[in-house]
Each structure stands twice: as C-alpha cells, then as structure tokens.
Structure 1
C-alpha cells in the first residue's frame, strides 16, 4: 500500500485572495446566455431539436463573454461577475420574471439584477412562451397529479423548472483522449450509419450534434488561450506574465487533446465541469472520484520531478475555489429548499477499485487538505469507508470535520455496493461508485439517475387519513374510511398506506411527464457525449442513452411518522385516552397553540372563495378582515388544558432515535410504506424507480406547509431532517441514535439516506476525541448504516452568528447533504440547524 502523504501544507496566499475576491459582492444574474440561446433558436426554427441544442451550445461557447479573474491559475467562468449566473429560459422563466424586483431582497439566496438585464430577459421571454419543458410537462400530467402538487403532497420542482443534473461524466476519458478523441468516436459511429437504418434520422442527427458540441468546447478553450496571451502581453508583473503564458499554453492544448501533466489535467477537468453547467441548468454535477482519475497525472509528474506537492496542492485549492464560483438562481420557494447557493458538486475520496482493493492515495489526503485550506461549501467533499480504509485517512477526515465546516460526509461501501447490485449494477461498477449531489450513489459515466426527482412529504398523507382525503373542500387524496368508524390501529395504518400508495403513483406520473418533456424539448448532446453508452446507442441521455437509468425521488418525515403513528396506536387504541376524532380536533386546533401562517392564509383563501361563490364582493379589504377574524378565533381554556394534557401524554410515548428496538423496528416498517411501493414503477428511459430518504433542506419550507402531527409537532414547524430522529427527541447520546438509525433498511433506499448529527467542538478535541469519533462511524457502518455527516459547532456560536452575521461571514455549516455559509441561510433554516440535538461522547 505504501506510505501516504499526510503532512499539512501551508495555504498559499493566492488562495485567500481568490476567496476574498469571490465573496466581495452579492451574486449577479447575467443575461448573455439567454440572449445567445434565443438568437440561435430563432435561426434554427424547423430543424431537429438535438441539432438546435448543439448549435445553440456552439454559439454560446463562441460568444459568451469570458474573463480571467485576478490571480487565477485555473480559468474558465460562465459569468463575468464572481459567483454570478446565467439563466435558462428553455426550461422555465415565469418565476424569475415575477421576481425581477424581489430577487435581490428575498431571504434565501438573493441575487442582484441590473435594469438592463431585466429588460433583455423580458424581451427574450417573449419568444419562450409555450416552448418550455415545464409547460410541456404540465400538459402531460394527470389532473389529479396537479391537484396533489397544488396541495403540497410532493414537489417535483427540481427537473420541472430546471435542466437535468445529478450525474458524473467520464472525466477520465476527456483527460485520456480529449474532445478530439470523443469527436473521432462519434464520427466513426456516424460513418457506420446507413441511410436505410430504421433509426438513421435520429441517430445521425444525434451524432452530428455530439461532434458539434465537442468542437464548441474546444473553441471555448481556444478563446481562453487567446485571452491569456492578450493579458500576458499587457502584464507588467513578471511572475503573473509567466502564469498567463502557461495558462495560454494549457488552454491551447486541453480539453481538445489528452492531458500531458497534472496542471493540464486540472485545467481540462475544470472546462468540463463548467461547460456542463453552461449547457444546462441542472445542478449536482459531481466531480466524483477526483483522487482516482487525477492520480496518474500527479504520480507521473511527481516521479519525473516536474511538480512539487506544494504546487499540486495549490492547483487543487484553486479548483476548490472555482467550484464555488459556479452558481444558479432558483425560484423563491426552491431557494428555501436548497438554501446556501449550493450546486451540490459532490467530490469523493477513498474507497475500492473494481477488484475490491483499497485505493486511498496521496490525492485522497490532498482533497481533504484542499477543503481545510479553502473552508468553503463546495465541493461537497465525501469519503468512502470500508473495512480496508486506512485509519490515518479517517483521522485526517475527522480533523476536517473538527474544523466545523460540515465536511466531509462519510459513506459505507459495505451497504452501498450491495444496494447498487440489487438494482442490477455489476459488481465492478458498484465497487467504483461515487456520490452525486447530497447522498445519492451511482456509477460514474454510465448512469442517468434522476436523483432528487421529487420531494415526498410523508406527513401529508397522514393528514389525509384524518380528513378522508379532503382539504379545504377539495378531494385531494383517496376517500379512506371515516376515522370515527376505525376499530383498531391496523385499520388506521391501512388507511395511511392507501393514501401513501395513491400519492406515490401521482408523483411517478409527475416525474414521468417531466422526463418525457426533457427528451422532447431539451436533449443535451454535450452532456451525453461523456456518458456511456449514448454514442454507441445514438441516443441522448434524456432519451435513454445511459447504461443505467433510474428515477430517484426522496421521501422524508420518517421520524415524525414513526412517533406520530406510535402516539395514535398507544393513546387511542392501546390506552384509549382519547378518540381519533378528538385527536383530529387537537390537530386542527394546533394543540391550542394558534394556527400557523400557512394555515391562516389557506383558511382565509378558502373562506374568500366561498364568499365569492355566494356572490359577495371580496377585495383586499375584505380579505384582510377575514384574515384577522380567523387569526382571532381562539381555542377555549378547557380545550387548552386538554391539549396540554395530550402533549404530555405524547411526550411519554417512546421516541425513535433512542435505541429502543421495538420503536426502531416500527420505524423500519414506516419507511417501507414509501420505499417498497416506489420500486415497482418504471420511467420512460427504460429504467426503474428507487427511493431515497432525505429532504435536502426542504424539511423546513415544506414543514411550513404541513399541519400539526400526532407526535406533538406544531403546524408550520420543520419536519425531521433525513433519517435521524425528531429534533431534540434523541436523549440517549450519539451511539443510541446511531443504533436506531442503523436499524432502518438502508439497502432498499438505494437512492441514498441522510443522517445528520451535531457535536459540541469539545467532543472532538485532542487525538482521543478524534479516535472516539472515528470509532462511532465504524460502529454505525458495521451495523449497516449508509451515511453520516456532522456539524461540529456550539449552539452559542450559531445563535451569535444569527444575531451578528457580520462577525461570521465565513462560518460554514452542514445543512443537509451539503454545506453552506450559515449567514446566507434563511432564518427558518438557521433555526432548524440551531435546534438539532448537540451530542458529546
């Protein structure tokens, strides 16, 4: 195995300059890509859609404004402003136009927009009305699906409003043969086509689109070579002049041709990473096993004496900074769910090769070092753990965790490999998996996983059980048995499963409609040329060109549902302390604590609609009166006393997360109500559905749309995040919580599970603290847990940062499957992180 490089390298002064420059100003929305795209589409009316996509991408690469930022060694930016972003009207645009005047002041992820940009985008949007993927997808959805979405049972917003992301391409192939080599592969396939072939029309146009897209990437790099030469000619600083000349040399070589050095490999990698996110607005474009495909170039340069470890580390640090330069704007509600300007670019280190040998190497350690140097949210660094993982590697990772940046996340080979194999992934491919986005495993360069295809709120179907599927006078769910007539818990549980199955089917309908819309309107030839077997099959990724095709929507709320259903079982059916109708009234009254803002708004709207139907005038004044009247509708003192007693009873019911085997076994069954039915469905690309169990950060905004639940959770408050317990309900320490979570069936959730824990910094102090921390991870993974991630920060620090954000501009925390700057998060999401249980050993 050899000696690993595990010596700390001092951070280069250049890196801090790059970071400071990156965060000087608010991110900016730019209009250039949207304008160029629209110009191209107007010129290609009537041509095949795949041709139009390639020509538009080529025009963007030829004409998008480019810049080299001060002190950069790795170049390439799809915006002039640091952390700026382009927009993608081919997917959706109405939401942004509505937010033109508020996007700069909203709570989550604000962006600056100039008046000139607003004007340009308004003109562009006239062309796209009726032509977007979101509009086509909506037309394909069943009416009952739209009703369920309107009532926030689930949201498929990720691909509904954006491009396709959540994949890892064959970076290694670009490094080995360049885009000239990939072009040659497509040209060979095109030469083999016969005009009489049944699929000639689509196949030939796809291959031509690939060839043009590869040339677009090459031309884009050449533009940077010319710009670097031009800047070098004007540069007076000798060192910077030499740097610019070397940049020019690199860009004239890669990504057109194979990389010959570690520096060229770094530059080639970056052009691929950045251009994928210029073609499409899909996020979670994950670099994957960076330490594996980059290692041959590093090793060769080191052995030949062409590079020092210090310079190699500086290049990696530069890439880490660049990963934070990429950005995207989301609609207001989605920004709440993905708060922190995150693009979820997951980069993973360590793990095994195809034959099951550990492949931890020097770059694995240097990846951790780069995150230590930059202390930034991106990349979402992850590490693979198995029985053969060197202890020194986990100690190095634990040192990074101890810094409090929420990195890295830890993944268990012993669960993920068999989970992927259960989905017909070969053992060789499964052993070389990487993580996408938050927590989703897949085989790089062969998979179109459609991870994060939807958020499914497992609490909402329970609300439908209590109401018989009705909400605000609308039949949203199925009409299950009246709760007053239910004689035992089994009938209640069966009604919950019935509602779950109904809504899971509607979610599948939504995802499949969106899937078809992307294939018809926005196939992506550049993305597709780097994933097997699109070129061989003559199909884009969106049309089923990948070897492995999945759709992976995630359910969340397991802890709330476990505690809620157990509360109903014990209090109603076992101990008969109250009836189901009485429980329903308590939930409707929010346990006497007053209605949430979401409930107030919903009830006000419903009353206003009824008044309008009755012919009464309903204007802003009347709506305000209705709102204030509803708000003043108070619960009687007698009911308040009853509800306080009920909350006390609920508090005494055993809770998930405390190492109680019978409770944890029930949680496993609750999770099955989502994971088992889902795997029976298929998607339009010839693949299957697989469940994930994680919310990103949507547990907060979607919790705001959810009524009170029988576990004592108040209306409008956050739902539990991931597969961990309800905030504050895990009282027996981190090992007990980990034992509970490990008893879930993580293998069936092959789209990933998410387990957050929060430690006080003192818990990881000294070598003893690090060793105990590593032992916790290994123990959890020995029990077949899939994933762990941590915040190491005190409650006091977070509260002070919330009150005095100017003092904590660089405070990075773990949100969900990603890290973010704490001060950029909405207050509701900050509160959710603050309220997580703080553990200690």
Structure 2
C-alpha cells in the first residue's frame, strides 16, 4: 500500500520545450575563461589565509563577478557560461593537459569544445600561478614509485579525481528548500557562537564555519544579480507575456535560495541554483539530484491543493529544469573524454521506492519525472527508478513506455538488494531505505555521504596478462613474480597466480586513491558543498576532511565476463581436457590468435627486447633490436601462427560462456568477481571510511580495452572489454531471461558501490501493451533473483549503423552507453561500435 495517490494522466508537452532544446544545441560547446581568471585573482590576494577561507573567498569573488545571462524563453535561470553547454576551467586541480590540447580540443573524436585564441591567452596567463599548487601535483608526491609505475602501465587509472574535483554526491536539497541559505548561515553562526577559544579544534572548526557563512552570502549575492538582470530585461521587453515571466523570475531570485521556497516554482529555481553552483565551486561531476520527487512534492502538493498551479504548468517547470540539467558541461582531457564520451555529467535523478519506514512513496511527481524525460528527450538527468515488490504496476509500465522511446532511460534499481547491501556497510536501516543513486549506478544516503564513487577504473584483464609474463609488462617488472605460466601444473596454481597479481594491483590502486584523497583535503576543501552535508558543521570539517556521516571510497572493476570466460577456458582446455598446452595458448595470445601484431604490440615488444638486453648486461643496439623484432613479427604472421590461432579460437568458442543460464559457469563467474570485490574491503581511506567495490565501467571498457592484449576468452587484442556485469558482447545467445538469470547469480550485495547490467532490445520487443508487460516481467524476475540494476537500449542495429553513416539525420538520437545516456552522434566511433556489437534481444 502506497502513502500517496497519483494521477497517471499524461500531460502534453509545452511548445516552449522544443525551442529551448534547439537553442541549447545550436552550436558546439565552448570553453570560457572567467572562472579561472577570477579564481586566480582571489588566490593571489589571500595567500596568507587558511585554505578553507581562501576557497570560500574565491567562490564569492567568482559569483560576484562571473558574467551572467538569461536566455530566451527560460523560466528557470542560472548559467555557468554565456555560451549554451559551455564550460569553465578548474586549474586548481590540474591545467597542463588542457594547455597541451589547446590546438586539438576542437577537433578530437570524443567531446570536442571550441576555444577562442583570446580564451587560450587568458588561461595561459592564469595558469602560470598554479604551477606546483594543484591537487594533482600534490597527489603525485604522495604516491609510491610502484604505484606510479602501475599507472604508467595501465593497470588501473584514478584519473577522475587525479585531475578533477570529486563530485559524486547528493546534498540536502530539501533543507535548502525549507530554510534557504539564510537559514544554513544561521546554523553556522550558532555553531560558531557555541565554540570556546580554548577548544582543541577551535582554529580549524571556526575557520570552516566562517567559510560556510562566506559561501552562503556569495550564493545570495549571485541570486540577487539574477533578480536585477531579470528586472532590467523586463523593463525593455516589448512582449507582454514574456515581460510577466521576467518579473516573476526576478521575484523568485529575490526570494530563493536566500529564503525557504514558498511555492513549487520557487522550489524549482532554488534547486537549480544549488545544482549549478556546486559545479562552479568544483569540477566534480555526478552531482546527482537524488530523490527529486520526494523533496519537491510538498511544494507541488500545496500549490495544487490551493489552486496556485496547474499540473500542466508544474510539468512545464520540471521540463525546464530538465533542459537546464543539459546546459551544464565539463571538458576532460582527450583520454578521459573517450572514457566518458557524450558530454555526460551523470546527474542521476531517481523516482519511486520506499521511505524511511518502508512504505512506498510513488507520487504525482514520480510520474511527472518520467514525463519530463519523454518531453525533453535529452541525456540529462540520468533518470532512474526504484523498484520493489510493492512498486505500483502502472508506474513501472510508464517507465517502460519511456524505455520504449529508445533514449536509454530510465535505469532500474532493486530496493531489496541495495537496502540490505548499504546496511551491511554501516548505514542505519532508515538511511539505507532513503538511498538514491549517484552518477552511473552508485547507491548512497543523500546529505550524509562522501562516497568517492568512481574513484578509479580497474581492468581485471590486465593482471591476467601479467600472469602469462611472470609479472612483467613491456619488459618491465610491474607485478610480483608468480612463476612461468608454462610451469604451472594445476588450474588452482594458475588461478592463485592471478589472485596474487590482482591483490597486488588493488593495493597500489588504494595507495593512489588515498594519495589523491589527502591532496583534495589539503588543497581543495569545499565549504559550500559541505554546508549541505551532515555532520560537517558539527564536526567542523569539510567533506574532504571526513566531515560526512558516511565515508567510502568506491573504485570500480570491469571485465568480469572476460575474466570468467577466459579462466574457464584455461581450466577447460589446458587443464581438464588438455586440448591445448599453456605454451600454445601463450603463443596464440602473443600473436593475437595469429592475426598479426598491431602498432601498439610492435612498440611494446621493442621496449621489452631493449629491456631484456639491458637486464642481461648487453649493449642495447638498434640494429640488434630491429633484427629480433623482425623475427618476432615474422613469426606472428607465419602460417603456423595463423593455424594455431584459428584452432585455439575455435576451441575457445566451443567452451560454455557466462550469460547463458549455465549454473556451473555462472558460479565460476561469481568467484572470479570476488577476486576484485573481496580484497578491496579490507582497506580504509583517510576520511576513516572503507573501500567498497563497484562492478561497472562508465564507457572506459572501450579505451582501456584498447590498452589490453588478447585474452583467453577469444577477445582480440585492443578491442573493448565487457562492460559492467553484462556478458561479453555477442556471447549471450540464449535470450534475455537466460542472460538475466546468469547475471543475477553474481553477488550483487558485496558490490555495494553498484553493478551495471546492460541489455539491448529490438524496438519490436516492446511494442504494444503485451511488450510492455513482458518487459516489466523481465525486470521483476531479475530483481526477484536479487539482481541489483538493469538498463536498456531499445534501438535496432540498422538504425545505429545508419546513424554512423548519416549523423546529420540523427542529431537527437539518444542511446544508453553505460551508466548514462548520450547523443549517439557525439560518441567516438569505437564507442558507437561497442554499442552496436551488444547482443540484440527479443522476447
């Protein structure tokens, strides 16, 4: 039984929305210099002050001076840049990569940005100050040499927070709506007044509370700037209807977010200022709105009951918020852009589910969130829905109707797995029941958590490569010496070597993450963000210093399916059936199954040969290296290598694969996943919290797969690794239910930082009411078996191939990439190909 009644009647789309969307995507996104320039000005003036005060004063200086704009037709205002979908830069985290890419950022394959010569010059001038002062430089100094070596050899990458802000948080939006920043400032004042000068933590705590007050004042000043701008525009506006809209905007911005919201319209505007300004304070992405349908509902309900608003206008306001969420943007370095392709900021907004008492709280706004995503048809917000046994059936049918549109939304999450998983990590039952999703698939309790989700990408295939080479990569000893693979007499010995390589690499990953964690606490505390997270003000610490109630670090592993299939193939073919020798398998992998060596392979072998000569005490001679290289290349292209590779590939193809409802194989995959999830649990972070594993890749399975050689599951060198907990592309051949059954047999509870399960359907599979019912039945069946998450692409292979050939005809084609959706034509070709390769299911 639910707590609320709800109206399932569809609401038509306002004419305003398509025009707002068209204006938003009229031009390529642009990099602007204002924030970097203003930040640097402030830092130069505050060098003798505590860092948290410097951060607050810089935030204030930016908000007082950054250019502002109200765009045509907007009802919700506040823009980080003058250019639609533009972005600012954040040199306090890192800047060298952007300067190095000034001349290529506009033409790169993934997420290009326009940057003017004037902007380049302004950024170069500002960047001079930041040499030796960035979080990335400090983090590097804290890392051990073996950690840096492992990163150099692509064992893992912590690049997310190494070069950028952390983000990945949901703040107390509801408190801002209730008391405004005047109320939050008052809380800080009272806390400061309660301190004694002789308190042991007075110096740090008092300065933090002062920084909170400076930040609150800055936000109020910023909103008032918009109130004045709206009045100025209203005075010169000739259109009577637009004039009234501008006057209302001015009134809204004069009231919120300084005070508590008095209407649903003010609540929408207040929410947006928080969402936007968190992005100005820091470059962290995945700042997720969380349970929007819950904290916004009281304002909607009151206005509806008082006749102050219609459902149609409330829907239009929500649609406008959805458009604004696509206005925020972020420029990443070229390599990271490949891993996050699609200009995504991963702003996860979730609807439905239970409240703290375990009662379903689906309401009108839950349905209207789905309507908004239908109306706007853009990647942001990354809409999710919570599902449990008591979820209203019609709510899931409406969600399925959105899935059927093909935009990859919503993603579906299982309350009955996620809630107990969070309780096992130390959350109270009440807090766990009130979870939301961050970024891709990561659960947490809003307003109490610094989760450090997405803390690193760990490619589970790379340690297996080290097993075949006794811990070496490109001739360098990167991992421990676990012996020659040919000498391993049993599969247990081989598997144990893999676990040793895994645990060593995981330990180095932890070292990297903790070094970056410490650097952020020292150089980039965030008082504005921390003012909206418990218990920062009570503890007198920013979230970066451990101020949150719950503190985690959540790096994600991927390639589970590849590793399960690869190790099962080794066990079956080498040890059980003895159809091939380890030497033959190793040679097949070295020659990419007889398909010859790529340029990357040749470069790697050259380094390995030179390194081997050095270790043997020989003089490294270019002619000798070239001669050895020629012989290796010739051997890899020989008829014998080709024949051996084809034979082994055929044998591997016959070995059962994960994803086909085969209990023995699925149990093996579950154990393989434990090689990542279990070792990680024993580590702690500098904020006093624990590490918890996630099993999802964003879209890094493509670029990190490009750094990985051939694997014993038949995967060719430099091709994508399997995404999330999904089977390897094309290996699940027994239908969607069989695939779901296999994936459900993994331990989703232990991967408490989230698991990601992708499926792709032909549009005909969801046609009509019967198609929707079958689809909802699949989700319920998977969740009954304790799967955690599902997401879907509903698009034909033919459509995607045509969109590759004629991108101009598919400007608005949105697809599900990994834990997010993106415009298909903005993705790199390698990522487009990966989506096309996924198995196309039908009922």
Would the TM-score normalized by the shorter structure come out above 0.5? yes
Q: 1:624 and 1:23 mapped to 2: Cα distance?
A: 51
Q: 1:207 and 1:407 mapped to 2: Cα distance?
A: 40
Corresponding residue for 2:778?
776
* Change over 3 Å in CA distance of 1:33–1:483 after alignment to 2: same
Corresponding residue for 1:507?
509
Q: Is the 8 A contact 1:811 1:823 kept in 2?
A: yes
Q: Is the 8 A contact 2:610 2:620 kept in 1?
A: no
User: In the alignment, does 2:721 pair up with 1:722?
Assistant: no
Corresponding residue for 1:167?
169
The alpha-carbon deviation at position 610 of structure 1 amounts to: 8.5
Q: Cα deviations across residues 32-64 of structure 1 (Å, max 9, x unaligned)?
A: 000000000000012110010000000001001
The alignment partner of 1:492 has SS state of: helix
The alpha-carbon deviation at position 632 of structure 1 amounts to: 6.8
Q: 1:329 and 1:492 mapped to 2: Cα distance?
A: 43
Corresponding residue for 2:578?
576
The alpha-carbon deviation at position 598 of structure 1 amounts to: 2.9
Q: Is the 8 A contact 1:207 1:538 kept in 2?
A: yes
Pick aligned residue for 2:696 from 690, 694, 697: 694
Q: 1:109 and 1:451 mapped to 2: Cα distance?
A: 23
Corresponding residue for 1:831?
833
The alignment partner of 1:382 has SS state of: strand
The alpha-carbon deviation at position 605 of structure 1 amounts to: 5.3
Q: Cα deviations across residues 71-116 of structure 1 (Å, max 9, x unaligned)?
A: 0000000100000000000000111010000000000000000000
* Change over 3 Å in CA distance of 1:259–1:729 after alignment to 2: same
Q: Cα deviations across residues 585-632 of structure 1 (Å, max 9, x unaligned)?
A: 1101100112234323433555688899957689xxx99999999877
Corresponding residue for 1:495?
497
Corresponding residue for 1:747?
749
Q: Cα deviations across residues 546-599 of structure 1 (Å, max 9, x unaligned)?
A: 000000000000000000001100111011122212211110110011223432
The alignment partner of 1:592 has SS state of: coil
The alignment partner of 1:53 has SS state of: helix
The alpha-carbon deviation at position 639 of structure 1 amounts to: 2.2
* Change over 3 Å in CA distance of 1:607–1:493 after alignment to 2: closer
Q: Would you identify which runs of 4 or more consecutive aligned residues in structure 1 move more than 4 Å?
A: 604-618, 622-634
Q: Is the 8 A contact 1:703 1:716 kept in 2?
A: yes
- In structure 2, runs of 5+ residues without a counterpart are none
Q: Is the 8 A contact 2:159 2:456 kept in 1?
A: yes
Corresponding residue for 1:756?
758
Q: 2:622 and 2:605 mapped to 1: Cα distance?
A: 18
Query: Equivalences for 1:322-471 in 2 at 5 Å?
Result: 322-471=324-473
Q: 2:496 and 2:629 mapped to 1: Cα distance?
A: 37
Corresponding residue for 1:215?
217
Corresponding residue for 1:683?
685
Superposition TM-score, scaled by structure 1 size = 0.98
The alignment partner of 2:235 has SS state of: helix
Q: 1:179 and 1:776 mapped to 2: Cα distance?
A: 45
Q: 2:599 and 2:718 mapped to 1: Cα distance?
A: 7
Pick aligned residue for 1:705 from 679, 704, 707: 707
The alpha-carbon deviation at position 172 of structure 1 amounts to: 0.1
Corresponding residue for 1:643?
645
The alpha-carbon deviation at position 638 of structure 1 amounts to: 1.9
Corresponding residue for 2:545?
543
Q: Cα deviations across residues 186-226 of structure 1 (Å, max 9, x unaligned)?
A: 00011111111111110110000000001111110000000
Corresponding residue for 1:734?
736
The alignment partner of 1:590 has SS state of: coil
Corresponding residue for 2:157?
155
* Change over 3 Å in CA distance of 1:614–1:35 after alignment to 2: farther
The alignment partner of 2:593 has SS state of: helix
Corresponding residue for 1:73?
75
Q: 1:831 and 1:605 mapped to 2: Cα distance?
A: 31
Corresponding residue for 2:675?
673
Q: 1:339 and 1:230 mapped to 2: Cα distance?
A: 39
Q: Is the 8 A contact 1:597 1:716 kept in 2?
A: no
Q: 1:615 and 1:440 mapped to 2: Cα distance?
A: 49
The alignment partner of 1:553 has SS state of: strand
The alignment partner of 2:88 has SS state of: coil
Corresponding residue for 2:812?
810
Q: 1:760 and 1:340 mapped to 2: Cα distance?
A: 23
Corresponding residue for 1:115?
117
Q: 2:486 and 2:777 mapped to 1: Cα distance?
A: 50
The alignment partner of 1:395 has SS state of: helix
Q: Is the 8 A contact 2:169 2:451 kept in 1?
A: yes
Q: Is the 8 A contact 1:551 1:687 kept in 2?
A: yes
User: In the alignment, does 2:303 pair up with 1:276?
Assistant: no
Q: Is the 8 A contact 1:598 1:704 kept in 2?
A: no
The alpha-carbon deviation at position 484 of structure 1 amounts to: 2.1
Q: Cα deviations across residues 750-797 of structure 1 (Å, max 9, x unaligned)?
A: 000000000000000000000000000000000000000000000000
Corresponding residue for 2:320?
318
Q: 2:88 and 2:695 mapped to 1: Cα distance?
A: 31
The alignment partner of 2:222 has SS state of: helix
Q: 1:208 and 1:377 mapped to 2: Cα distance?
A: 38
- In structure 1, runs of 5+ residues without a counterpart are none
Q: Cα deviations across residues 680-738 of structure 1 (Å, max 9, x unaligned)?
A: 00000000000000000000000000000000100000000110100000000000000
Q: 1:280 and 1:749 mapped to 2: Cα distance?
A: 28
The alignment partner of 1:593 has SS state of: coil
Q: 1:809 and 1:831 mapped to 2: Cα distance?
A: 17
Corresponding residue for 2:530?
528
Pick aligned residue for 1:230 from 226, 229, 232: 232
Moved more, 579-588 or 607-616: 607-616
* Change over 3 Å in CA distance of 1:359–1:604 after alignment to 2: same
The alignment partner of 1:555 has SS state of: strand
Corresponding residue for 1:54?
56
Q: 2:486 and 2:366 mapped to 1: Cα distance?
A: 60
Corresponding residue for 1:137?
139
Q: Is the 8 A contact 1:6 1:365 kept in 2?
A: yes
Q: 2:627 and 2:131 mapped to 1: Cα distance?
A: 37
Q: 2:755 and 2:635 mapped to 1: Cα distance?
A: 41
Moved more, 748-757 or 579-588: 579-588
The alignment partner of 2:384 has SS state of: strand
Q: Is the 8 A contact 2:559 2:724 kept in 1?
A: yes
